[in-house]
Amino acid sequence: MKNMTLTNIARACNGRLLYPAENSRKETEHAEAVGVVIDSRKAGENFIFVATKGERVDGHRFIPDVFAKGALGVVCEKEPESLPGPCIVVEDSFEALKQIGEFYRQQLPVKVVGITGSVGKTSTKEFVAAVLAMKYKVHKTLGNYNNEVGVPLTVLSMPEDTEVAVLEMGINHFGEMHNLSRIARPDICIMTNIGQCHLEFLGSREGILKAKSEMFDFMKEDGSVCINGDDDMLASIKEVKGKKPVTFGLSEQCRVYATDIKGKGLFGSEAVIHGNGESFAVQIPLPGEHMVYNALAAAAAGQLLGLTPEEIRDGIAAVESVSGRSHIVKLPDKVLIDDCYNANPVSMEAAIDLLLQADGRRVAVMGDMFELGEQEKEMHARVGKYAADKGVECIICAGKLARYIYEGAREAAGERKDGPAAEIFYFEDRESLLEGINQILKPGDTILIKASHGMGFEKVVEQLS
């Protein structure tokens, strides 16, 4: 890792560098780390281990273990009683991790594309990374590494020859995006939408926009902003650092837009993308209208970074779904839509719209949505009403808050005059759902599985698979 010596790392995080002996200083003074981790199991020869205190485990316990495996040094909050190797003592290991990530980011001449929004961050990240990989060596966020721990770890895992980094950036409090922007120093900022999530902490959609706009705080002076021009809140952004945002969407008023959209059910869609004076047809392999928006965001980023229409087209066609996010699982007698990674009212309704594209009986398995604030009951009820009004044939709800999805669906189903009412079921929790769901499902069903991550609905996917 370029310039990642113990001295430089200590300076970056304002730490106190301690050596067990003078000869160890001479041996390691100019050595560069090969990686930085907070999981001692991932530490190896010449790694830096950042010892953090978690809810269950204190990483300081494993300092001797990582040195036994050949670690170059350790960042820790307290000096070990017997110093087993070079240690950098800091006040706060998590804060040090962010500072070290910020330092390493600035050592590499890499372009950074930062992605945020209420819905669709991960899918958009996959589209952008797939498109840019047609021209550049790309490093992207893995898994759910999108917060104040995940972003610096993603940056610190970036190979020196990376040309473009695509970083997903997620928050739920004011000030967090400011910190993430300081680490990422984005050249391009992409904002997918402003929905109703994290309202418990951010208060309103206006608050969400304000918090996510902190992304611009450390954007490069010559950087660019790409926003969903069809989103009413994002459309209010007229200028960032003296430049107009690049808008994408379905409206022809956007700089990058799509026409001739033809759905292919659960197997994606095709469209014509227009922008930068050019038009080209694309095959979008993932289902749902929201995936068209993700493809448009990738096309906008691709054009900003000099890709040809052919490279953008090929990159969009190469995108693969991510487990837990509109991932289609074909079983011998059923089809699952695994969208269980997270949920809010906007993404719930988008997932229901996707389910409606399926043939046969459609089943929606829905759980609690967290961090919605004072109106959480009404928002859950709205989702249930939406599913019943749209004609989902079977609605299965599980969780304390999901009771309001159940009640909203029951009320709407009772009011329907244009067709048979849905079958609607309620379970108190995930465990009772797992016990009872197989008695409800039928061969040929297409089953949507969606809830906030804390509900652990991946267990439902595992059982049905």
Binding residues for ATP: 117-123
CA 407/CA 373 separation, integer angstroms:
19
Helix (H, G, I), strand (E, B) or coil at 116: strand
Q: What are 313's two structure tokens?
A: 């087209």
CA 261/CA 289 separation, integer angstroms:
9
Burial of 421 (0-12, 13-18, 19+ CB in 10 A): middle
CA 437/CA 440 separation, integer angstroms:
5
CA 424/CA 416 separation, integer angstroms:
14
Q: What are 247's two structure tokens?
A: 């808008």
Q: Are strands 278-284 and 269-275 parallel, antiparallel or unpaired?
A: antiparallel
- Residue 55 — φ and ψ, nearest 5°? -65, -35
DSSP 321: -
Closest to 246 measured CA to CA, from 292, 202, 189: 189
DSSP 9: H
State the maximum Cα–Cα separation within the chain, in Å, rounded to a whole number: 84
Give me the DSSP letters along 62-73: GHHHHHHTT-SE
- Residue ranges of the annotated binding site are 117-123
Sign of CA dihedral 50, 54, 60, 62: negative
With tokens 């299965």, the residue in question is: 396
410 Ramachandran zone, left/alpha/beta (phi>0; psi -120 to 50):
alpha
Q: Are 273 and 283 in contact (CB under 8 A)?
A: no
| Beta bridge pairs of residue 53 | 58
